[in-house]
């Protein structure tokens, strides 16, 4: 029976090629968007290199100060993080780093655009960078303001060419020469808290890191001894912020949080708007919109196809075919169409991800298919295929034999 349904379904799809194309395009395009989007989100948020201790880390990324008719929000100063966050008892380490800053350098008459950032020594104890060669700079080198650097693999290749080892050599950034201490694996540009081409000690910064203002260009990572300490560490930070004296007289409140990675990644910088809530709502609306349009389109196409097949339905009913048999046949046809569109969507997703990776549109970001999302996507396609076939199948079952034959 199913074999006959399959043959009929293929014959029907071949009969009206334009309708078949529209249906397959809607299904495959929808699945492709979902797979590519989730692949990007997974890499942007879920990739844990070099941040492999997220399960016991909290992130400090922003501060908001406000008062009557006045509000200021942004990243924090090195002083605030080292002086206040550094006074906490529960964290065993505090990693501090600046945002990546862009500059240009020149080597062999070649212009190279690069990013550099400043870090403290504990930054390297919290984050697990893969060192291709060498090692990170230590606390003594930071305290002595030595001009040393850790560079990425891409920067090594671009600046030094094919040299096998570059530890001990000098690289110029922002018109200053630094001695290379180590080379680390590349970090995607989407990991803004850990990405850079060159990592430098904060003590060589040209800006005054000793400034006692609360706002600046730094973020912090608090490392707990175990995952069980995270709630206590979070609460300790919240209590500490409440005791921080106001920086200016026109401010009445200071807001800053030590959050999990995802909450920190999606922080909007405002106490009134939750970045996580906004993101979840936006993703839900987007997914619903993307899935709903092809479903409605498929329902309309199926209704049209049924009306065109009224003579076939009338003849089959006249020869004793029950409404239940006709409904089942049409739903099977629709599921076959949906599954075929899903398989095309998977193939398109693989091709698009390969094109994106080879084009290197996002530095150091290699996208891949999430097989859990792929499985859920295919199941969702089948469910929507089933739902989009129920109403047309019900309409088909209600066709009167006489009227159907007259229509033909």
pLDDT for res 332: 75
> Is residue 287 predicted with pLDDT exceeding 80?
no
pLDDT in tens, 255-265: 999 999 888 76
Query: Is the model more confident about 140 or about 368?
Result: 140
The pTM assigned to this predicted structure is: 0.75
Residue 159's pLDDT is what?
94
Pairing verdict, β 93-98 and 70-74:
unpaired
Confidence of residue 407 (pLDDT cuts 50, 70, 90): low
Share above pLDDT 70 across residues of the chain, in percent, rounded to a whole number: 73
Q: What is the CA radius of gyration of the chain?
A: 30
Task: Write down the mean pLDDT value for the chain.
Answer: 82
- For residue 339, what are the contacts with CB-CB under 8 A and spacing of at least 6? 378, 381, 382, 385
pLDDT level of residue 106 (50, 70, 90 thresholds): confident
Secondary structure in 3-state letters for the chain: CHHHHHHHHHHHHHHCHHHHHHHHHHHHHHHHHHHHHHHHHHHHHHCCCCCCCHHHEEEECCEEEEECCEEEEECECHHHHHHCHHHCCCCCEEEEEECCEEEEEEECCEEEEEEEEEECCCHHHHCCCCEEEECCCCHHHHHCCCCEEEEEHHHHHHHHCCCCCCCCCEEEECCEEEEEEEEECCCCCCCCCCCCCEEEEHHHCCCCCCCCCCECCEEEEEECCCHHHHHHHHHHHHHHHHHCCCCCCCCCEEEECCECHHHHHCCCCCCCCCHHHHHHHHHHHHHHHHHHHHHHHHHHHHHHHHHHCHHHHHHHHHCCCCHHHHHHHHHHHHHHHHHHHHHHHHHHHHHHHHHHHHHCCCCCCCCCCCHHHHHHHHHHHHHHHHHHHHHHHHHHHCCCHHHHHHHC
What average pLDDT does this structure show over 117-143?
97
Task: Please give the residue that has the higher pLDDT: either 1 or 93.
Answer: 93
Specify the higher pLDDT residue, 146 or 378.
146
pLDDT band at 1 (very low <50, low <70, confident <90, very high): low
Over residues 27-46, the pLDDT tens digits come to 788 788 878 877 877 776 77
Lowest mean pLDDT among 98-112, 276-290, 339-353: 276-290
Q: Are 77 and 213 within 8 A, CB to CB?
A: yes
CB 188 within 8 A of CB 43: yes
pLDDT in tens, 163-204: 999 999 999 988 899 999 999 999 988 888 899 999 999 999
Mean predicted confidence (pLDDT) in 136-150: 97
**pLDDT over 60 at 405, yes or no:** no
Question: Where do we find the tokens 């990644």?
Answer: 265
Residue 84 pLDDT: 96
Q: What does the pLDDT read at residue 234?
A: 96
How many Å apart are CA 398 and CA 329, to the nearest integer?
15
Does 271 have pLDDT greater than 50? no
81-85, 196-200, 339-343: lowest mean pLDDT where?
339-343
- Bigger pLDDT: 191 or 1? 191
pLDDT category, 293, cuts 50, 70, 90? low
pLDDT given at position 289: 67
Tens digits of residue pLDDT in 198-229:
999 999 998 888 888 999 999 999 999 999 99
Q: Residue 396: is its pLDDT beyond 60? A: yes
The ranges assigned to domains in the chain are 2-47+276-407, 62-258
Task: Determine the pLDDT at residue 257.
Answer: 92
pLDDT band at 2 (very low <50, low <70, confident <90, very high): low
Instruction: Assess whether pLDDT exceeds 80 at residue 347.
Output: yes
Residue 57 has pLDDT above 80, yes or no: yes
Q: Which of 69-83, 168-182, 213-227, 309-323 bottoms out in mean pLDDT, i.e. has the lowest?
A: 309-323
């Amino acid at each position: 029976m199913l074999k006959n349904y399959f043959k009929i379904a293929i014959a029907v799809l071949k009969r009206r090629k334009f309708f078949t194309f529209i249906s397959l395009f809607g299904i495959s395009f929808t699945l492709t968007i979902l797979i590519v989007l989730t692949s990007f989100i997974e890499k942007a948020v879920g990739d844990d290199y070099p941040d492999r201790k997220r399960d016991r880390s909290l992130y400090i990324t922003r501060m908001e100060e406000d008062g009557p008719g006045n509000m200021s929000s942004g990243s924090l100063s090195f002083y605030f993080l080292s002086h206040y966050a550094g006074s906490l008892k529960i964290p065993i380490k505090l990693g501090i780093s600046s945002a990546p800053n862009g500059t240009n350098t020149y080597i062999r008459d070649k212009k190279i655009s690069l990013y550099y950032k400043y870090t403290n020594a504990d930054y390297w104890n919290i984050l697990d960078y893969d060192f291709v060669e060498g090692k990170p700079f230590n606390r003594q080198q930071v305290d002595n303001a030595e001009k040393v650097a850790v560079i990425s693999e891409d920067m090594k290749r671009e600046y030094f060419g094919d040299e096998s080892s570059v530890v001990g050599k000098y690289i110029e950034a922002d018109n200053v020469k630094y001695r290379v201490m180590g080379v680390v694996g590349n970090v995607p540009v989407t990991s803004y808290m850990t990405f850079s081409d060159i990592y430098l000690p904060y003590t060589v910064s040209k800006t005054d890191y000793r400034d006692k203002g609360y706002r600046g260009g730094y973020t912090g990572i608090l490392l707990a001894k175990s995952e069980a300490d995270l709630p206590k560490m979070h609460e300790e930070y919240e209590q500490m912020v409440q005791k921080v004296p106001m920086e200016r007289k026109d401010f009445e409140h200071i807001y800053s949080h030590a959050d999990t990675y995802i909450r920190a990644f999606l922080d909007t910088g405002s106490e009134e708007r939750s970045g996580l809530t906004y993101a979840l709502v936006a993703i839900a609306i987007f997914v619903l919109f993307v899935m709903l349009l092809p479903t409605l389109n498929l329902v309309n196409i199926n209704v049209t196809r049924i009306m065109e097949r009224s003579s076939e339905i009338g003849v089959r009913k006249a020869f004793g075919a029950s409404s239940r048999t006709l409904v089942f046949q049409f739903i099977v046809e629709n599921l076959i169409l949906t599954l075929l569109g899903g398989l095309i969507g998977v193939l398109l997703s693989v091709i698009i991800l390969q094109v994106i990776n080879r084009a290197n549109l996002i530095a150091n970001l290699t996208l891949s298919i999430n097989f859990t999302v792929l499985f859920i996507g295919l199941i969702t396609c089948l469910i929507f295929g089933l739902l989009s076939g129920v109403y047309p199948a019900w309409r088909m079952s209600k066709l009167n034999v006489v009227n159907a034959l007259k229509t033909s």
